[in-house]
Chains A and B, each alone.
Chain A
Amino acid sequence: MKIKICFYLVLVFISRLAFAQPDEEFRKLKELYPNNEVVMVSLVKTIDISMKNDDFVIKYDQYEERIYLNDNAKHYDKSSIFMSDIFDLKKYEAYTLSPEPKKYKKYKVDRFTLSDLSQGNIFYDDSKELNYSFPLLTKGAKTVEILKYELKEPYFLPIFSVSPYMPYQNVEFKITVDDKIELEILELLFSEQEGLILNEEKKSGRTTKTYTFSRSKPVKYERNAPSHLYMSPKILMRIKTFQTKNGSKNLLSTLDDLHEWYCKTISPSMVESDEITMLADTITHGMSDTLEMASAIFNWVQKNIKYIAIEDGERGIVPEKAKEVYFHRYGDCKGMSNLAYHLMRSKGIDARLAWVGTRSLPFKYTEVPTPNVDNHMICALVYKNEVILLDGTHSFLPFGMPSPFIQGKEVLVNGKDCKSYQIEVAKIVPANLNQTLDSCFVQISGRDLVGRGKAIYTGFSAMEVRELLTDRNSKDRLKIFREVLLRGNNKFTLDSFQLEKLDNINEPLVLNYYFKIPDYVIINKNESYINLNLDRTDLPGKFPKTREVAYEKRFSDSESNVVVLELLENQKVTTLPTAASFKKGNLKFENSYSNLNNSIYRKHYFEHDALILETKDFEEWNQAVEEIIKNYNQQLVIITQ
């Protein structure tokens, strides 16, 4: 992913506009960006890293200026500023530049309100937000936000990036660092940037690197798009070593250093207690097999500890003590992992803490050993030289499966007692393990179709259905399953259903159901027409040519469905629909019909074995969708004698 930067010497059309009159500036920008409503006219991110008495002093400033090109401007008035213990906000200012004939008039934001980041159930997060509104946002107005931070943790340097969703000009990333600090700067995804200039200057024992660039064509926002970090140009920084009075020291020179620091951060949480031992004894009472005990403990944590989401990014890094999590019955990913870890440890099980970045972060420990790689913690179980990943934040995740959002990601698994570590890759669960197996038997009754069915859900598919059912009463569940099953058309009536193994999350979920679809059968004299594709795969549809970004899925899955139409003696089939079977890329489709002892069997299989559909695959995908629809649109013809 690392790219080489070419050195252009192109005239960027920077500041010629900076002193322009508002109407002239507006006109020029409107001409350049007729289809965009906001343009980032300037974004300057500056970091200054120095040493004072062997301590780091890190200053991080940001200047952001935007212009609004149409009447939607007023909808951009709300904004907020992030701050936390590590990102100590020292100064902030925001204002609107309102266009007047000759100049811009400045209107300062005079009201900032502090709020906790308390969406959901976050209790003890130290992150806070300053919320405010820009006044007087009209067409042609500009907004400016100026922030100054002091960073309290040299391990945690910000990622410099810029949103790909609006055009930008005059972006400047500036990094100044003492020469006694060895800083690695990694530039990613700069290839699409225009007018890129890199400047390096050395002066009185300090080096300053400056990147300036712009981009006139933004990425269009689409649903199910991968995180913006896969599209935006960005700089990752890491302090490798630094000089002190006592010689050179490592900070994040290698992954070893990151691991060592992580070990320091978790050490206060490594507290054993009798309560935890007693709890572990209770949970595993009567068990002796390691996996059985581990599974029981993991399930107990999933079921009894409420997960409290913590925002991505710069968050607290110390897990809560196991005893506290147990007492409160809630925790974030770190607290839950720490509790599972201590419970297992007290039973002599070789559990470990492990760090991982979710799929929204496109970084690897082996490439950039910094805390920016991860945003999540899980528990890992080492059993017979195999590492089993356990993510307690998903209440219905089967034992042994990674959570969907870490599939394919590097996991930093702590060694025993922090003496070593290993990198594992969370496996990508193949489509055939996340399956919906459905078979139903139907009969014609007048114009109605009446039937019974059995659906079996496995892997993530089972997890997803269990998630839907959490704490729903039977009336709600009927509604949910009516939506989930919805056979034929919306006249589908679910008469009753019954679940098996709902609470045993390590086993497939089984659903038995009885239904009817009134007026589904089309009657034409002595002929009846029925479309037996009662359960068409819910496809994301065709992708328009205009879509420029990939399509991301939570997990790969597959469906295998059988519909059996049991005919009466006086009913005979005259036409069976044609079968189809093909494989296009990662998509597999089969649909076939057969007549066996006057029962019609329709067998259907669909699989899409990929987490991401790249833009280059869209055309093939669209063709497949078209073929599938064509195949679905065939009815069975039955003659009644």
Chain B
Amino acid sequence: MFSNVKAQELSFNPKLPEKPEIESLVTEEMLKEYDDQTILDERFVEYNFDAKGEFQEIMYVHKIKYANSDEAIEQFNKIYIYLGQNNELLDYDARVILKNGTIKNLGKDALREGTDEDGDKYKYFAVSGIEKGSFIEYYHLIKRPPSVTGNSMILQDKKPTRVSRFRLAAPENLVFVFKANNGYTQPERDTVVKDVNVWKAETKEIGKSESEVFGNAGGNRMSMVYHLYENLATRKRNFYNYATVSQNVFERLNTEPSKGAAKKIKKFIESSEIKYASSKREKIMAIEHAIKSGFNYLEFSDPRLSDIEYILNNKVLNDYGAVYLFYQIFKTLGYETEIVLTSNRYNLRFDEKFESYAFLDKYLLYFPDSKEYLMPTAVFYRLGLLPPAYIHNHGLFIRTVSAGGIQTGAGKIKFIEALGSDKTSHEINCLVKVNESNDSLIVQSEQIYTGYYAQVYQPVFDYVESEKMKEFEESIVESISDNIKIKKINVEHKGGKYLMDKPLIIKATFTSGDLIETAGDKIIVKLGELIGPQVEMYQEEKRTHPVENDYNRCYVRQLTFEIPNGYKCTNAESTIINVTPFPDKSAYFTSEMKQEGNKIIVDVKEYYNRIFFSEEEFNNYRDVINAAANFNKVALILEKV
């Protein structure tokens, strides 16, 4: 595709300028604002040909950082250069610019090498002699295998950046397309540079990306997505489209397994726990449980780990091996599945308007008849439940189509809906009495977990050592309140195989001296604490992100309190709290109370029916969250009759 273009040099000068470019970028006042900031962040990508005429990609990173605190200095002691296994470091330089302007060149000795746990080599600058108020300036130039099919680059991090520059250069026959996200400047063609195509974008004053409760800081970071669109020399364009990738992915996953592998699949399906599952859904769940709880998922890219025969013989696989295995098993059973490719919304949201392979990060399987998803690589999740990163996001759905007797894959972008709030619930039902000596509560409790709440516990039961099981079960009950004495506990539906099939039910009887206080001859019963500690947003802070929930959810509680003989409750109505700020009930908290004889019955409902709440809606959302935290403080007053 590229052979008719001549080899060329870099289209820019990577060397550090003699005089650091600091004054033009930042003023003294701006330095005072943060002790730890990035003054300049340049990322240049250049595609060209090496001396042998091989197409190559050069990545240039140039940064000037400012360190005016011990913490910042500590971080800059070691500046990593990620090389992975196939990248090559071509050139680098680093220097420290002290407060008084003295420049300390670190020289070539500053570069050191290490190896991480996976055997990947990494290099780093060992930066010494930094004092408070210093600038650290460095660049490195890396050659990497050229990738033009769809790349993404995150351009915002935990430090504020004063000036960020993105630049991409390519031979003059190659045209790239770009999509800048979350406020980064869209690149424009630089027409001044001749003989090579250059696109540039500069963005100033990028704030630090800070995580917030109920916010998606990662997905809201500024980023750039780009790929090669057109080759003017061959007059071909739009190479990397979803139609092509759909066919390729389809063909790869439909690669006929060897005879031995096919036999093994049949044998696996015939194994007792799968064979006797009655419905299709049960069969899928049995298969999923057998693989996810019995096979060892490894992170290597060893080809054996995606070879079905090897996998089924040895019970080890890697991520792609898992996808291939699941897909082939369902195919053997004649179950229709669509292949879904999507991105992690906490890192890079799938942009349905910009076709890019950068979004095709993770595989899901979709069963169109039941409209349920399964993620082969998520060992703690089961059919119907995806990790929150892969919901409420678009995806490329590839279904099987027949054309001229040949089967192939056809792709379509669809939205991966989050489950409704009723599918993820935590229910607490308590019958509460006061003991005879009026210094302890006796509580009969029942907790029911479904969906994402059950997911936190159910698969974990498979891994808890039997001698620690009781402790683990008790720890779940203790999440309601510390310092309780558990008298009896019974747990139903322990284990990953029940997830999304049967709820986790924990029934426990316990006593607590913590939930009861005295005020003279009155008794104060801290009834609200029985719903457990709640997330709260009392301390007001400036909000930077809109709300983006992990999933929809609901909490349902029924607290029944038996007033002891000889006492009356004087403030039962304090249990009534209603916060319903959204007319469409996107999020609400209600608690209703009724009295029947000596019983006070409180019904609490708290629902979050939407993933996204805009910045304007934030205060209302917070009110609902805090309503639950307020209920947590509800205390009943008992007076002698």
Binding site for B on A (CB under 8 A): 34-37, 70-72, 74-75, 77, 107, 111, 113-116, 118, 121, 123, 131, 133, 135-138, 220, 303, 306, 327-330, 470-471, 473, 475, 478-479, 482, 489-494, 518-519, 522, 524-525, 527, 529, 531, 541-542, 544, 546, 574-575, 625-626, 629-630, 633-637
Contact = CB atoms under 8 A, between A and B. Distances in A.
Contact of B128 (A77, A137, A329): A329
Given A330-B128, A471-B69, A633-B516, 4 more contacts: A113-B118, A478-B539, A491-B538, A629-B514
Nearest to A77: B296
Interface in B74-102: 74, 77-78
A114 B77 contact: no
Nearest to B300: A111
Contacts of B296: 74, 77, 135-137
B314 A136 contact: yes
A121 B78 contact: yes
A491 B629 contact: yes
A66 B463 CA distance: 18
Contact of B77 (A116, A121, A633): A121
B519 A490 contact: no
A329 B524 contact: no
B314 A34 contact: no
B315 interface: yes
Interface of B: 35, 69-74, 77-78, 112, 114-119, 126, 128-130, 293-296, 298, 300, 314-316, 439, 462-463, 465-468, 471, 482-483, 513-514, 516-522, 524, 533, 536, 538-539, 541, 570-571, 629-630, 633, 635, 637, 639
B94 to A, nearest CB: 15
B517 A71 contact: no
Contact of B513 (A115, A524, A629): A629
B258 to A, nearest CB: 20
B305 to A, nearest CB: 10
B115 A634 contact: no
B71 A471 contact: yes
A489 B515 CA distance: 13
A114 B539 contact: no
Q: Which of A34, A115, A327, A544 has the most CB of B within 10 A?
A: A115
A412 to B, nearest CB: 31
A113 B120 CA distance: 9
B71 A635 contact: no
Q: Which of A328, A491, A525, A542 has the most CB of B within 10 A?
A: A491
Contacts of A542: 483
A113 B114 CA distance: 12
B462 to A, nearest CB: 7
Contact of B633 (A118, A478, A491): A491
A637 B74 contact: no
B517 A633 contact: yes
Contacts of B629: 490-491
A135 B117 contact: no
A71 B119 contact: no
Given A113-B118, A327-B128, A327-B129, A220 B439 contact: no
A119 to B, nearest CB: 10
Nearest to A326: B129
A524 B522 contact: yes
A524 B536 CA distance: 26
A529 B536 CA distance: 24
Contacts of A121: 74, 77-78
A635 B516 CA distance: 11
A37 B466 CA distance: 8
Contacts of A133: 298
A35 B465 contact: yes
A330 B536 contact: no
Contacts of A491: 536, 538, 629-630, 633
A131 to B, nearest CB: 5
A137 B519 CA distance: 60
A37 B463 CA distance: 10
B425 to A, nearest CB: 24
The 4 closest A-B pairs by CB, nearest first: A113-B119, A471-B71, A575-B520, A35-B467
A34 B467 CA distance: 9
24 contacts: A35-B465, A74-B294, A74-B296, A77-B298, A115-B115, A118-B114, A121-B74, A131-B117, A136-B315, A136-B316, A220-B467, A328-B129, A329-B129, A491-B633, A494-B539, A522-B571, A522-B637, A524-B571, A529-B522, A574-B520, A575-B521, A629-B514, A634-B519, A635-B518
A138 B294 CA distance: 8
Contacts of A131: 117-119
B300 A635 contact: no
A490 B467 contact: no
Contact of B483 (A34, A115, A541, A634): A541
A482 B462 CA distance: 38
B119 A489 contact: no
